[in-house]
Every structure is written in structure tokens, then in C-alpha cells.
């Protein structure tokens, strides 16, 4: 019987041990200064500071946590706030972002006479699976070396948060909420929304019938920390809507240090799966890192498959117009595995007639899905997925042709165009949006090329003819409307629509050339009257749009306008979050993102595309190298520009360019196609010294060098203004 009892005690201990673990050790031990990419001062009351948000997300997870500028944490449903002993909101005087864009954030605050160090993230083990991830906030109070410290603070939660904060549609509905704190568990209306670990937590008691904006579940902590020592408290934030009261965070028993190390390793491994990309500019590097981490990491397992929501927070939904850009970006960063899934997601929105439509009235989706298909097949060079999706793509192409035919039969001002649409988005109009037709043309071109590649010559020729006819009709309408509306390339047949997809006509849609006078006039008109602080304006001009300008920048790049590209990139990065991520719309006056929380997936995808294009882009049968790189990136003493195994539509590219000393640019290339390297116009090439005896490297004019297919190494001697030879 003694043995029976012994086993029972053992079992009970094991069960008890699973129900709650105590954090141990300093969670930030082992983290060095080099682990943080940047630190900043995010307090909203401090003039000149950008209201900054740390987005905490993990691949596979169906919800995310935002660490907001005011220091609170938000999961789309509940806000978790921290107050000092006097009941004031704790403000974090510094905020830190982890290196490589890994969504781990840190911050510092003072509570009474103790220093409070916070670190927040979604623990991730690297598994790519469906998960309702819990967020973890670790707070470590440290006492000075010469005296004990009294720590006094409290936690509270509220449904919703301030007025207008976006709420995830999956959040719990309710007019009033009751809170209860018991043994570390924070319950709201009987569901577990948080779990607090750490000593001396005293609940305020059960609170019932609180309005959504009222704080409840207050827990007060008063603890003496001995001199030179520290004490940790951990707040686990449940997935939005909470979980049943009997559940618990799966990682409760693990120390923060262990979870942090594991999460970091998992992210590093994930990010190492893509291309190698080095940029010798820390601001751009930070932006690209954040963009890659978001593009790769903002994915969830849902509805039995992998999905790529447009944003971890209020855009936790699927838009073909965003998803198409994400497909291209995933390919560019060397993740065709994810790109293929993202592409299949787009075709899940195909309607019986062939249209691809995810949101009511956004008829551009069909052309966008077909264009994304073309991007995938071209960059991933994947004929298998090409064959798999070609029938769906052909149905989409047929829908476009059918629509043109029907409207042509009807006649009138929109004869030969796609139907009117009401996208309820940035176009701010209902009408015949001409950018939708331009997307349709890009879609037809993509299917035409894939059919040609897969040997369906007759079909490809038929589509080529339809493309020629459709393009001619669109240009005819544009010519008519340009004179009627006094706009070089109006957004719609109907007056009053905001510029949107018409700005994409040269890049990426290639309906007109970047040098075309209409494109130049459109860009000039936009930059003169609809830009401010280097970014396009939106709404009534009081807001800046963070990704609407990328296509015009790409157009300028393809026109050889390096200085505009540099200025545009600088403006984008200057308005980005300190951690490098970008949003959609911000107020011009104070850069506040309001309820439109960053980071935004389309910004990330388009930034990746732009920076890649600055280093390499496809033109005709070859590649153009370094055409958008600012001269300062190539200054002596700067780190290299390096790309390893970068996908192009001709195959993989390896590139290294660096100036080891004044007036010399050292270049190492492995090219899948002939390339033209375009150096800044201020430079003059004086000599090219190839490493091999026989070389096909040729100088083309004062600023360009031509490289053949295959491996090349050379030193390019240049004279640069201000540098001695």
C-alpha cells in the first residue's frame, strides 16, 4: 500500500508540476548589444517621436500581439496594460527591436525605485503548424547594487481598448464583461485571457458588468527585490477570444531564456532558408530584414491549409491585390515553397465564371492572380505548378476576354473594357477602373507566356492576339479620357477616381514603357500635386500612403533615374517604423498610423521588390545590375552588396560588388543571362581588369559594363567626383 501511495504522490506531483511553472534566472542573460537592431524612445508624449508599434507574430499562429506605442499589449480582442504604484500607465522609455527583423521586442521602464526590463514575443519552436499561439511578456525588476528596491505595479485588462481600435471579427462579442483573477489565471466572462506568473500578485477581486473600454481583472504586485538581484513576472496573453478556463499556455513550464533562445534559433533557421542578401546601409538593411521576416512569417494554418494574411492585425484577411505582390516577394526572397502555397490561395477565390475575386467589387483580382502565376512560374522555374494551375489561369484569361467582348457588344463609353467595379478601396470610386484592364492585360501576357513555355503554341498565339487587341482598346480609351479629364492616364472612365492601378501601368504591368510620355506625365503630375514629404498623399491630402509610390519608383528605376529611386527609398524608410516595418496609411502631421496598425504585408512585399530591383532586374533577354543603388552604397570602406542564389526569370544569380579602395569596384558574378551593370552617371569608367586571361567583359560607354553568362570577376577602375585617382 505504501508503494501505491508513493506512486499516487508521484503522479499527483507530476500533474501539479504541469499546472504551473515558476520562471527562473534572468531571462535576458546571454543577450548582447549586438542582438538588438535598434533602440528608440517611443513615448507618445515626447514631441517628435514616432508612435511606434512592435508586431509580435509567429509562422502558423492564427493571432498576433501588438505592443502599442502607449506600452499596452493588444491581441485584436483584449488590451493588457501595466500601471505603476500610483496608478499611472507605465511608459517604456526605450524600445528595442531584435536583429534580422525577428519579431522579438524589448523595452525599459522605471517602476518606483526599480528598473523594469521587458521582453515580448510569441514563443515559436520552428514547427510550421496550426497553432493558437500565446504571447509572452516577461518583466524583470532589478534592484540597484547598493540597496534593496520596492517594486509596486499592477496589471489590468480591458476588452476592446480605446475607441476605434480595430477588433478582430473573431473576438468575443459582448456588451459587458466580468473579470476574475485566480491562481495566476485571468478570466474574462469565464474564458482564460491571460496567465500571470511571479510572486506577490494580489487580485482586486471579481468585477462584473464592465463596459468594453473599462479595465478589469486588476492584479497588484508589491515585492521587495534585494540589492543586486532581480525578479521576473511573466504575463501570457491568450489567443484572441481567450481559451476555455481549463486550458493553459503550452510552454508554461519553460524559462523565458529557453523560450527566447529557441524562438531566436527557429527564426534564424527560417530566415536562412531564403536567399543571402547583404546591403551596406543599416537603415535599408533594417527595412529589408523586417520586410522579409513579415513576408515569410505572416502565415497561418487555417481552413486546412497555409494562408498569408495581409497584416497580422486588422487586415487578418485575404486580398488578391495584396496576395499577388506577396507571391512575387516570396519568390524574390527564395521561398518558392511558400510562394506556391500563396499562389494556390489566390486561385481558391476563383468564381464559376473564371473571375478571381476575394473582396466584393475588386475585379482587378483576376488579372492580379494571373500575373502572380506568371511571376511564380518565371522566378521559381516550376513547370509542375505551371501545369497544375494553367487550366484555372486559362479560365481566368477567358473571363477577361469574355468581359471585353460583352462590353464591346453593348457599346458606349466603356465598350471593350472590363465591367465597372466598386472596389470599396483606395480608388474611392465606382466605375470602369482602367487599371483593372491594365491588370487584365498583364494577366493575359502571363498566361500567354506560360502556354508558350509549356508548348501550347496555338493557345498562346490566340492570347497574344487578344492582348494586342485589348491593349489597343485600352490605349484608345485612355487617349480619349486624357483629353476629356485633363489627366495623362486617368484612373477611370468616370471622373473623380483616385489614382491607383493606373500608376502601375509601366511597372509591373508593362502596358506602357517607363519612358512613354504618358507615364512620365502621370508621374510628374503625381509628384507635383499628390506627393508630400517624399510619399504619395491620400484621403484629402492629410495622409501619406506608404506603398502606393513603389510602382512609380520602380518605373523611375527602369528609366535610369537613380537619384529619384534613392530619394524615394529614403522617404519610405524615414516614414517606416523604427524597427524597419511599414504600414499602409499614416497621418502626415505626426506620422501616426491611427487604427491602421503596421506592419503591412504589401508594404513589405513591395519594399523587397524595390530593393532587389535596385540591385538586379530583368530587361528583355538580360539583367540590369546596380542600376538603382545609391553611389554611397559603393563608397570605399562600405560593406559589400551581395546576393546569393537570387532567383531571376533566367535562373539563379550570385553577385558581389564592393569598393575595396578609392576608384575601384570589385565585382564577382555568376550570371544566368547576359547583364549590363549600370554605374552612377557621376562616375566614369577608366578601365576594367578581368581576373581571367580571356574575358568577354566589355565596357559600354562611360558608365556601363557588359557581362556574359556565367562566372565573371573583375576590378572596375572608375573616376568618381571628389576622389583622387
Partner 1 sequence: MKPRRAHRRTRAMSRSMSRTRHPGWGAALVLALLAGAGWWFFARAPERRAPAAVEDPVARLRAESARAPRDIRILGALATALNNECYATRTLRGRVQPVLATSRERVLYAHEALRACDQVEGVLPTSVAAPHYRGMLYAAWGLPEEAGYALSVAVDRGDATAEARQTREVLKMLHMGGAEDRR
Residue 4 or 145: which CB sits closer to partner 1? 4
Give 456's contacts (C-beta < 8 A, 6+ positions apart). none
DSSP category for residue 117:
E
CB 393 → partner 1: shortest distance, Å? 18
**Minimum distance from residue 251 beta carbon to partner 1 (Å):** 19
Nearest residue (CB) to partner 1, 368 versus 568: 368
Q: How far is the CB of 495 from partner 1 (least distance, A)?
A: 7
Among 54, 91, 362, 460, binds partner 1 (CB under 8 A): 362
Give the count of residues interacting with partner 1 (CB under 8 A): 64
CB of 422 to partner 1, least distance (A): 6
Q: How far is the CB of 167 from partner 1 (least distance, A)?
A: 5
Decide: is 392 part of the binding site for partner 1 (CB under 8 A): no
The answer to the question of residue 696 lying near partner 1 (CB under 8 A) is no
Binding positions for partner 1, 309-328, rule CB under 8 A: 309, 316-319
622-625 vs 675-678, strand pairing mode: parallel
Beta-bridge partner residues of 307: 300
Q: Considering only 389-397, 409-417, 577-585, 608-616, which stretch makes contact with partner 1 by CB under 8 A?
A: 409-417
CB within 8 Å of 105: residues ≥ 6 apart: 54, 56, 67, 95, 96, 97, 98, 119, 120, 121, 579
Binding string, 176-215, against partner 1, x = CB under 8 A? --------------x---------------------x---
Compute and round to an integer the Cα radius of gyration of the chain.
Answer: 28
Starting at the earlier edge strand, list the strands of the sheet with 622-625.
Answer: 616-619, 622-625, 675-678, 704-707, 698-700
Cis status of the peptide bond prior to 205, with omega within 30 of 0: no
Q: Which residues contact 240 (CB under 8 A, 6 or more apart)?
A: 63, 75, 76, 77, 78, 168, 170, 171
The C-alpha cell of 126 is what? 520552428
Per CB under 8 A, which region of 22-30, 53-61, 156-164, 581-589 contacts partner 1? Answer: 156-164
The yes or no reply on residue 171 touching partner 1 (CB under 8 A) is yes
Q: CA-CA distance, 330 to 372, in Å (whole number)?
A: 11
Task: Give me the least distance between CB of 476 and partner 1, in Å please.
Answer: 16
Whether 40 and 95 have beta carbons less than 8 Å apart is answered as yes
Q: Is 436 in the site for partner 1 (CB under 8 A)?
A: no
> How many alpha carbons lie under 13 Å from residue 560 in its C-beta half-sphere?
10
Any contact of residue 422 with partner 1 (CB under 8 A)?
A: yes
Residue number with CB closer to partner 1 (177 or 683): 177
> Does the protein bind partner 1 through residue 18 (CB under 8 A)?
no
Instruction: Tell me the closest approach of the beta carbon of residue 429 to partner 1, in angstroms.
Output: 11
Q: Are 298 and 264 in contact (CB under 8 A)?
A: no
Smallest separation, CB 577 to partner 1 (Å): 25
Q: Are 616 and 653 in contact (CB under 8 A)?
A: yes
Question: How far, in Å, CA of 525 to CA of 518, rounded?
Answer: 10
Beta bridge partners of 687: 717
* Min separation Cβ 348 and partner 1, Å: 7
Nearest residue (CB) to partner 1, 7 versus 635: 7
Question: What's the closest the beta carbon of residue 437 comes to partner 1, in angstroms?
Answer: 14
Q: Which is nearer to partner 1, 212 or 594 (CB)?
A: 212
Q: How far is the CB of 222 from partner 1 (least distance, A)?
A: 31
* Contact by Cβ (8 Å): 137, 118: yes
Q: With binding defined as CB under 8 A, does residue 168 bind partner 1?
A: yes
CA dist., res. 672 & res. 435, Å (int)? 33
DSSP state of 711: E
Nearer Cβ to partner 1 (87/213) = 213
In whole angstroms, give the CA distance from residue 418 to residue 498: 18
Q: Which stretch binds partner 1 (CB under 8 A): 438-446, 490-498, 547-555, 639-647?
A: 490-498
C-beta closer to partner 1: residue 96 or 316: 316
Q: Does 341 bind partner 1 (CB under 8 A)?
A: no
Q: Which of 493, 604, 669, 705 binds partner 1 (CB under 8 A)?
A: 493
Q: Measuring CA to CA, which residue among 235, 118, 122 is closest to residue 186? A: 235
Q: Please report, for the chain, how many H helices and E strands are present, in that order.
A: 13, 35
CB of 635 to partner 1, least distance (A): 47
Query: By C-beta, is 318 or 603 nearer to partner 1?
Result: 318
Q: Secondary structure of 277-316 in the HEC alphabet?
A: EECCCHHHHHHHHHHHHHHHHCCEEECCEEECCCCCCCCC
Which position among 49, 128, 214, 348 is part of the footprint of partner 1 (CB under 8 A)?
348
**648 near partner 1, rule: CB under 8 A:** no
Q: Does 82 bind partner 1 (CB under 8 A)?
A: no
403 binds partner 1 (CB under 8 A): yes
Residue 347's φ and ψ, nearest 5 degrees, are -75, -10
CA distance 122 to 298: 12
Contact between 3 and partner 1 per CB under 8 A: yes
CB-wise, 309 or 514, nearer to partner 1? 309
Q: Rounded to an integer, what distance in angstroms lies between the CA atom of residue 419 and that of residue 403?
A: 7
Give the span between the Cα atoms of 102 and 266, in whole angstroms. Answer: 10
CA pair distance 79, 89, nearest whole angstrom: 13
419 binds partner 1 (CB under 8 A): yes
Q: Which helix (H) or strand (E) holds 326?
A: helix 320-332
Site string for partner 1, 210-239 (x = CB under 8 A): --x---------------------------
Q: Which is nearer to partner 1, 410 or 645 (CB)?
A: 410
The answer to whether residue 479 forms part of the interface with partner 1 (CB under 8 A) is no
Measured from the CB atom, the residue of 87 and 353 that comes closer to partner 1 is 353
244 binds partner 1 (CB under 8 A): yes
Q: Which is nearer to partner 1, 1 or 86 (CB)?
A: 1
Question: Which lies closer to partner 1 via its Cβ, residue 291 or residue 491?
Answer: 491
Q: What DSSP string describes 124-193?
A: --S--S-B-PPEEEEEEEE--TTS-EEEEEEEEEEES-STT----TTSPP-S-EEEEEETTEEEETTEEE
DSSP letter (8 states) at residue 42: -
Task: Establish if 88 lies at the interface with partner 1 (CB under 8 A).
Answer: no
Query: CB burial class (10 A; 0-12, 13-18, 19+) of residue 528?
Result: exposed
Interface residues for partner 1 in 291-310 (CB under 8 A)? Answer: 303, 307, 309
> Please, are residues 168 and 240 in contact by the beta-carbon 8 Å criterion?
yes
Tell me if 360 contacts partner 1 by CB under 8 A: yes
Q: Is 342 in the site for partner 1 (CB under 8 A)?
A: no
For partner 1, the closer of residues 229 and 402 by Cβ is: 402
* Only segment of 78-86, 400-408, 565-573, 698-706 that touches partner 1 (CB under 8 A): 400-408
245, 465, 479, 681: residue in contact with partner 1 (rule CB under 8 A): 245
Q: How far apart are CA 193 and CA 239, in angstroms?
A: 7
412 binds partner 1 (CB under 8 A): yes
* Residues at the contact surface with partner 1, assessed by CB under 8 A: 1, 3-4, 7-8, 11-12, 15, 159-160, 163-164, 166-171, 173-174, 190, 212, 244-246, 303, 307, 309, 316-319, 348-349, 351-353, 355, 357-363, 402-403, 406-407, 410, 412-414, 419-423, 430-432, 493-495
Amino acid at each position: 500500500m505504501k508503494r501505491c501511495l508513493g506512486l499516487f504522490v508521484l503522479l499527483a506531483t507530476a500533474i501539479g508540476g504541469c499546472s504551473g511553472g515558476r520562471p527562473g534566472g534572468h531571462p535576458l542573460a546571454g543577450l548582447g548589444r549586438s542582438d538588438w537592431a535598434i533602440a528608440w524612445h517611443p513615448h507618445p508624449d515626447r514631441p517628435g517621436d514616432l508612435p511606434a508599434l512592435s508586431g509580435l507574430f509567429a509562422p502558423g499562429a492564427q493571432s498576433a500581439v501588438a505592443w502599442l506605442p502607449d506600452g499596452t499589449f493588444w491581441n485584436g480582442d483584449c488590451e493588457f496594460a501595466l500601471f505603476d504604484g500610483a496608478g499611472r500607465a507605465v511608459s517604456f522609455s526605450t524600445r528595442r527591436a531584435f536583429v534580422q527583423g525577428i519579431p522579438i521586442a524589448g523595452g525599459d521602464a522605471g517602476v518606483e525605485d526599480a528598473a523594469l526590463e521587458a521582453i515580448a514575443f510569441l514563443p515559436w519552436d520552428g514547427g510550421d503548424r496550426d497553432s493558437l499561439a500565446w504571447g509572452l511578456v516577461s518583466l524583470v525588476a532589478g534592484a540597484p547594487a547598493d540597496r534593496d528596491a520596492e517594486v509596486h505595479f499592477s496589471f489590468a485588462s480591458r476588452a476592446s481598448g480605446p475607441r476605434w481600435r480595430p477588433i478582430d471579427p473573431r473576438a468575443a462579442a459582448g456588451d459587458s464583461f466580468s473579470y476574475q483573477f485566480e491562481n495566476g489565471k485571468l478570466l474574462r466572462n469565464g474564458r482564460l485571457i491571460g496567465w500571470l506568473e511571479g510572486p506577490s500578485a494580489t487580485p482586486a477581486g471579481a468585477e462584473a458588468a464592465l463596459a468594453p473600454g473599462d479595465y478589469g481583472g486588476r492584479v497588484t504586485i508589491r515585492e521587495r527585490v534585494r540589492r543586486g538581484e532581480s525578479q521576473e513576472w511573466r504575463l501570457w496573453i491568450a489567443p484572441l477570444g481567450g481559451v476555455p478556463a481549463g486550458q493553459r499556455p503550452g510552454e508554461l513550464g519553460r524559462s523565458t531564456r529557453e523560450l527566447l533562445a529557441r524562438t531566436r534559433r527557429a527564426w534564424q533557421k527560417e530566415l536562412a532558408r531564403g536567399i543571402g542578401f547583404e546591403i551596406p546601409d543599416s537603415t535599408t538593411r533594417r527595412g529589408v530584414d523586417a520586410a522579409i521576416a513579415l513576408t515569410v512569417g505572416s502565415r497561418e494554418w487555417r481552413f486546412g491549409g497555409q494562408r498569408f494574411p495581409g497584416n497580422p492585425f486588422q487586415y487578418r484577411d485575404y486580398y488578391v491585390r495584396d496576395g499577388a505582390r506577396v507571391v512575387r516577394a516570396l519568390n524574390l526572397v527564395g521561398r518558392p515553397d511558400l510562394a506556391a502555397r500563396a499562389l494556390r490561395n489566390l486561385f481558391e477565390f476563383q468564381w464559376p465564371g473564371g473571375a478571381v475575386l476575394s473582396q466584393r467589387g475588386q475585379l482587378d483580382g483576376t488579372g492580379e492572380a494571373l500575373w502572380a502565376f506568371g511571376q511564380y512560374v518565371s522566378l521559381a522555374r516550376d513547370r509542375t505548378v505551371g501545369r497544375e494551375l494553367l487550366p484555372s489561369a486559362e479560365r481566368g484569361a477567358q473571363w477577361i476576354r469574355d468581359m471585353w467582348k460583352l462590353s464591346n457588344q453593348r457599346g458606349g463609353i466603356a465598350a471593350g473594357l472590363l465591367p465597372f467595379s466598386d472596389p470599396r478601396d483606395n480608388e474611392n470610386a465606382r466605375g470602369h477602373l482602367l487599371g483593372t484592364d491594365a491588370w487584365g492585360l498583364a494577366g493575359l501576357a502571363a498566361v500567354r507566356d506560360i502556354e508558350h513555355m509549356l508548348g501550347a503554341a496555338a493557345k498562346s498565339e490566340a492570347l497574344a492576339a487578344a492582348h494586342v487587341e485589348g491593349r489597343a482598346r485600352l490605349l484608345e480609351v485612355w487617349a480619349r479620357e486624357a483629353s476629356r479629364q485633363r489627366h495623362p492616364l486617368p484612373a477611370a472612365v468616370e471622373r473623380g477616381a483616385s489614382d491607383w492601378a493606373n500608376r502601375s501601368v509601366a511597372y509591373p504591368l508593362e502596358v506602357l514603357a517607363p519612358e512613354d510620355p504618358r507615364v512620365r506625365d502621370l508621374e510628374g503630375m503625381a509628384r507635383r500635386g499628390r506627393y508630400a514629404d517624399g510619399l504619395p498623399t491620400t484621403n484629402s491630402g492629410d495622409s501619406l500612403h506608404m506603398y502606393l509610390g513603389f510602382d512609380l519608383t520602380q518605373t523611375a528605376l527602369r528609366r535610369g533615374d537613380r537619384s529619384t529611386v534613392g530619394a524615394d527609398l529614403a522617404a519610405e524608410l524615414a516614414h517606416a517604423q523604427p524597427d524597419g516595418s511599414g504600414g499602409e496609411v499614416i497621418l502626415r502631421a505626426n506620422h501616426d498610423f491611427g487604427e491602421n496598425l503596421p506592419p503591412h504585408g504589401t508594404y513589405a512585399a513591395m519594399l523587397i521588390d524595390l530593393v532587389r530591383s535596385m540591385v538586379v532586374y530583368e530587361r528583355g533577354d538580360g539583367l540590369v545590375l546596380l542600376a538603382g543603388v545609391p553611389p554611397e552604397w559603393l563608397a570605399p570602406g562600405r560593406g559589400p552588396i551581395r546576393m546569393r542564389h537570387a532567383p531571376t526569370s533566367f535562373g539563379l544569380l550570385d553577385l558581389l560588388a564592393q569598393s575595396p579602395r578609392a576608384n575601384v569596384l570589385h565585382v564577382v558574378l555568376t550570371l544566368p543571362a547576359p547583364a549590363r551593370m549600370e554605374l552612377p552617371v557621376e562616375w566614369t569608367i577608366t578601365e576594367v581588369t578581368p581576373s581571367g586571361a580571356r574575358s568577354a567583359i566589355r565596357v559600354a560607354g562611360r558608365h556601363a559594363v557588359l557581362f556574359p553568362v556565367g562566372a565573371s570577376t573583375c576590378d572596375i577602375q572608375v573616376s568618381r567626383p571628389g576622389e583622387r585617382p
